Structure 1
Amino acid sequence: MMKIWSMKQQQQKDEQASGGTQKKKKVTAAQLRVQKDLSELSLGTTMKTTFPDADDILNFTLTIEPDEGMYKGGSFVFSFAINQNFPHDPPKVKCTQKIYHPNIDLEGNVCLNILREDWKPVLNLNAVIVGMQFLFLEPNASDPLNKEAAEDLRTNREGFRRNARTAMGGGAVRGQSYDRVLR
């Protein structure tokens, strides 16, 4: 519980050190909740977070490097943007690369139910990250954003696997070029 308040305590120390003359930034409820969620993350060896701006914990990237399944050997980067209404609003998650996946469209939008209609404030960032990891272990053809990839997965699993490997290598599938994501 002490970790939650560390940002607030640091803020108070900074204010005291400056004699209270500096204009201070308020720590918002969203920042406190994100700090708590981040401190409880269990990422394992296949995932890592990066904070482009160390002072902004509401915007970060998550890199997923699956070590099994059809996407093994890839490195997939997602941007997370969390608004001030978190946890009442889900984080906005986007894939920064163009990849061949039934649940991720060509613009990087992610189809994960807990990022939309099934989001509840009791869910945390760990639940989102576990859901993202699961999309690479078991792509879901029944709720697609990329309908062509979903159709391939439903009707020809081996063809889908070949197309995914081609796309991960930076190749083209059905005339659409993809970003190279192989490590």
Structure 2
Amino acid sequence: MIRLFKVKEKQKEIEENVKEKGLVKKQSAGELRLHRDISELNLPKACEISFPNGKNDLMNFEVTIEPDEGYYTGGRFVFSFHVPIIYPHEAPKVKCETKIYHPNIDLEGNVCLNILREDWKPVLNINTVIYGLSHLFTQPNYEDPLNHEAADVLRDDPGLFVSNVRKAIDGRQWVGTDYFPGCN
């Protein structure tokens, strides 16, 4: 375990030197693996990937999900991915950039998906994460919430939950004490 921390520290030091000095760096094992993962992507039809910083920065990208079934149909949700240099030994950091009313995504964009936390294994890949995110829109889970209010409403009053999701997607509306600008 100690060696892993030393590797992480060294990788961060190398990244900082490259950024500061504009040096050309050799691709890390994590970058090579990510390149392979991206080249082998088999995205669901409701998903697309983009690289806002250009193709030279594979470690930071966005995935847009536009569900075509379930509660969130008609919405457009953007997730930012930051892949650590020691990927696949550490899961990517994923954040929802779209404000959403969802039991498994809080209002700050943190995502509750077990494979991004305790169930991450190096055999998993970016495709698996994207399918997991896509699944959250068809099967939100009120039993493992980040947004407890949304989870309680889904469990106790599914009709109100549907109404709240529609308000949040359509936008310019309040759901409880939270304002949603819309995402369609």
Q: TM-score range by the shorter chain?
A: 0.7 to 0.9
The secondary structure found in structure 1 opposite 2:129 is helix
Paired position in structure 1 for 2:178: 176
Q: Select the structure of larger CA radius of gyration.
A: 1
Structure 1: tracts of 5 or more residues without a match: 1-22
Paired position in structure 2 for 1:63: 64
The secondary structure found in structure 1 opposite 2:98 is coil
Moved over 4 A (4+): none
Paired position in structure 2 for 1:78: 79
Asked if the contact 1:99–1:179 (Cα under 8 Å) also holds between the matched residues in 2, the reply is no
Q: TM-score, normalised by structure 1?
A: 0.85
Report deviation, 1:24. 3.7
Q: TM-score, normalised by structure 2?
A: 0.85
Aligned AA (2:176): R
Distance 1:167 1:73 in 2: 11
Aligned AA (2:120): W
The secondary structure found in structure 1 opposite 2:81 is strand
Paired position in structure 1 for 2:34: 34
The secondary structure found in structure 2 opposite 1:136 is helix
Distance 1:38 1:61 in 2: 12
Distance 1:157 1:62 in 2: 28
Could you give the per-residue CA deviations for residues 10-44 of structure 1, whole angstroms, max 9, x where no partner exists? xxxxxxxxxxxxx6420111110101111111113
**Identity over the aligned pairs, expressed in percent?**
54
Aligned AA (1:50): S
Paired position in structure 2 for 1:52: 52
Structure 2: tracts of 5 or more residues without a match: 1-22
